[in-house]
Amino acid sequence: MAKEIERKFLVTNDTYKTLAYECRYIKQGYVSTDKYAIVRIRVIDNESFITIKTATIGITRNEWEYSIPLDEACEMLENVSQGCVIEKNRYFVNYCGYIWEIDEFLGVHKGLVVAEIELRAEDESVPLPSFIGEEVTGISTYYNSSLALNP
Protein backbone atom coordinates (compact mmCIF):
# COMPACT_ATOMS: atom_id res chain seq x y z
CA MET A 1 0.00 0.00 0.00
CA ALA A 2 1.26 3.44 -0.91
CA LYS A 3 0.73 6.57 1.13
CA GLU A 4 -0.24 9.75 -0.69
CA ILE A 5 0.88 12.95 1.01
CA GLU A 6 0.04 15.98 -1.08
CA ARG A 7 -0.70 19.67 -0.98
CA LYS A 8 -2.93 21.41 -3.49
CA PHE A 9 -2.88 25.02 -4.76
CA LEU A 10 -4.74 27.21 -7.20
CA VAL A 11 -2.65 28.44 -10.14
CA THR A 12 -2.40 32.17 -10.85
CA ASN A 13 -0.87 32.23 -14.35
CA ASP A 14 0.11 29.94 -17.21
CA THR A 15 3.91 30.11 -16.93
CA TYR A 16 3.80 26.43 -15.93
CA LYS A 17 3.20 25.62 -19.61
CA THR A 18 6.63 26.90 -20.67
CA LEU A 19 8.28 25.19 -17.68
CA ALA A 20 6.59 21.83 -18.28
CA TYR A 21 8.67 18.90 -19.51
CA GLU A 22 5.58 16.79 -20.27
CA CYS A 23 1.83 17.13 -20.77
CA ARG A 24 -0.68 14.26 -20.74
CA TYR A 25 -4.41 14.11 -21.43
CA ILE A 26 -6.47 12.53 -18.64
CA LYS A 27 -10.05 11.37 -18.57
CA GLN A 28 -11.38 10.05 -15.26
CA GLY A 29 -14.56 9.08 -13.51
CA TYR A 30 -15.62 7.76 -10.13
CA VAL A 31 -17.29 4.44 -9.37
CA SER A 32 -17.50 5.38 -5.68
CA THR A 33 -17.19 8.79 -4.05
CA ASP A 34 -17.72 7.60 -0.49
CA LYS A 35 -15.34 9.60 1.72
CA TYR A 36 -13.99 6.37 3.23
CA ALA A 37 -13.29 4.62 -0.09
CA ILE A 38 -13.05 6.58 -3.32
CA VAL A 39 -12.74 4.40 -6.44
CA ARG A 40 -11.51 6.11 -9.60
CA ILE A 41 -11.15 4.93 -13.20
CA ARG A 42 -8.55 6.90 -15.13
CA VAL A 43 -7.35 6.88 -18.72
CA ILE A 44 -4.04 8.67 -19.34
CA ASP A 45 -3.39 8.88 -23.06
CA ASN A 46 -3.58 5.14 -23.93
CA GLU A 47 -3.03 3.69 -20.44
CA SER A 48 -5.77 2.97 -17.89
CA PHE A 49 -5.94 2.44 -14.14
CA ILE A 50 -8.27 1.77 -11.26
CA THR A 51 -7.37 3.56 -8.04
CA ILE A 52 -8.77 3.17 -4.53
CA LYS A 53 -8.13 5.90 -1.95
CA THR A 54 -9.09 6.03 1.71
CA ALA A 55 -10.21 9.06 3.70
CA THR A 56 -7.59 11.76 4.16
CA ILE A 57 -6.16 12.23 7.63
CA GLY A 58 -4.20 15.47 7.76
CA ILE A 59 -2.81 15.53 4.23
CA THR A 60 -2.16 11.77 4.04
CA ARG A 61 -4.25 8.90 2.74
CA ASN A 62 -3.78 5.31 1.60
CA GLU A 63 -3.79 4.68 -2.13
CA TRP A 64 -3.77 1.55 -4.31
CA GLU A 65 -3.50 1.77 -8.10
CA TYR A 66 -3.61 -0.99 -10.71
CA SER A 67 -3.44 -1.13 -14.51
CA ILE A 68 -6.62 -2.34 -16.20
CA PRO A 69 -7.46 -3.00 -19.87
CA LEU A 70 -8.11 0.22 -21.81
CA ASP A 71 -11.36 -1.00 -23.40
CA GLU A 72 -12.77 -1.95 -19.99
CA ALA A 73 -11.76 1.39 -18.48
CA CYS A 74 -13.57 3.23 -21.30
CA GLU A 75 -16.67 1.07 -20.75
CA MET A 76 -16.62 1.85 -17.02
CA LEU A 77 -16.22 5.59 -17.66
CA GLU A 78 -19.22 5.48 -19.97
CA ASN A 79 -21.46 3.20 -17.92
CA VAL A 80 -20.72 3.41 -14.19
CA SER A 81 -19.22 6.83 -13.47
CA GLN A 82 -20.97 8.90 -10.84
CA GLY A 83 -21.59 12.48 -11.97
CA CYS A 84 -19.59 13.75 -14.92
CA VAL A 85 -16.37 12.41 -16.39
CA ILE A 86 -13.50 14.81 -15.74
CA GLU A 87 -11.18 15.79 -18.58
CA LYS A 88 -7.93 17.64 -18.08
CA ASN A 89 -4.44 18.23 -19.35
CA ARG A 90 -1.79 17.46 -16.75
CA TYR A 91 1.49 19.34 -17.00
CA PHE A 92 4.62 18.16 -15.17
CA VAL A 93 7.06 20.79 -13.91
CA ASN A 94 10.35 20.09 -12.12
CA TYR A 95 10.93 23.01 -9.76
CA CYS A 96 13.92 22.89 -7.39
CA GLY A 97 13.92 19.10 -7.49
CA TYR A 98 10.18 18.72 -6.82
CA ILE A 99 7.75 17.47 -9.46
CA TRP A 100 4.63 19.64 -9.63
CA GLU A 101 1.54 18.29 -11.38
CA ILE A 102 -0.63 21.06 -12.81
CA ASP A 103 -4.14 20.10 -13.89
CA GLU A 104 -5.77 22.34 -16.48
CA PHE A 105 -9.42 21.24 -16.47
CA LEU A 106 -11.43 21.01 -19.67
CA GLY A 107 -15.15 20.67 -20.44
CA VAL A 108 -17.53 21.78 -17.69
CA HIS A 109 -14.59 22.67 -15.43
CA LYS A 110 -12.75 24.75 -18.04
CA GLY A 111 -10.89 27.63 -16.43
CA LEU A 112 -9.97 25.76 -13.24
CA VAL A 113 -6.23 25.11 -12.88
CA VAL A 114 -4.90 23.33 -9.79
CA ALA A 115 -1.32 22.35 -8.88
CA GLU A 116 -0.41 19.43 -6.63
CA ILE A 117 2.86 18.48 -5.01
CA GLU A 118 3.46 15.06 -3.45
CA LEU A 119 5.59 15.08 -0.33
CA ARG A 120 7.63 12.52 1.60
CA ALA A 121 6.36 13.81 4.97
CA GLU A 122 3.47 16.03 6.08
CA ASP A 123 5.80 18.65 7.57
CA GLU A 124 8.07 18.83 4.51
CA SER A 125 8.66 22.38 3.31
CA VAL A 126 8.79 22.98 -0.45
CA PRO A 127 9.76 26.01 -2.53
CA LEU A 128 6.75 27.43 -4.40
CA PRO A 129 7.00 28.35 -8.10
CA SER A 130 5.75 31.78 -9.20
CA PHE A 131 2.53 30.35 -10.68
CA ILE A 132 1.34 29.05 -7.29
CA GLY A 133 -1.52 30.91 -5.61
CA GLU A 134 -3.85 30.14 -2.72
CA GLU A 135 -3.43 26.80 -0.97
CA VAL A 136 -6.60 24.69 -1.14
CA THR A 137 -5.32 21.53 0.56
CA GLY A 138 -8.17 19.93 2.48
CA ILE A 139 -10.92 21.99 0.81
CA SER A 140 -13.18 19.27 -0.56
CA THR A 141 -14.55 21.55 -3.31
CA TYR A 142 -11.24 21.05 -5.14
CA TYR A 143 -11.14 17.25 -4.84
CA ASN A 144 -11.61 15.66 -8.26
CA SER A 145 -14.32 13.40 -6.83
CA SER A 146 -16.25 16.50 -5.71
CA LEU A 147 -15.79 18.14 -9.10
CA ALA A 148 -17.26 15.05 -10.76
CA LEU A 149 -20.39 15.30 -8.62
CA ASN A 150 -20.70 19.11 -8.70
CA PRO A 151 -19.80 20.43 -12.14
95 labelled catalytic: no
DSSP the chain: -EEEEEEEEEE-SSTHHHH-SEEEEEEEEEEEEETTEEEEEEEETTEEEEEEEE--BTTEEEEEEEE--HHHHHHHHHHT-EEEEEEEEEEEEEETTEEEEEEEE-GGGTT-EEEEEE-SSTT---PPPTTEEEE-TT-GGGSHHHHHH--
Q: Which of 16, 25, 30, 143 is catalytic?
A: 30
Give backbone dihedrals phi and psi of 74, rounded to 5 degrees, phi first: -65, -40
- Catalytic residue set: 30
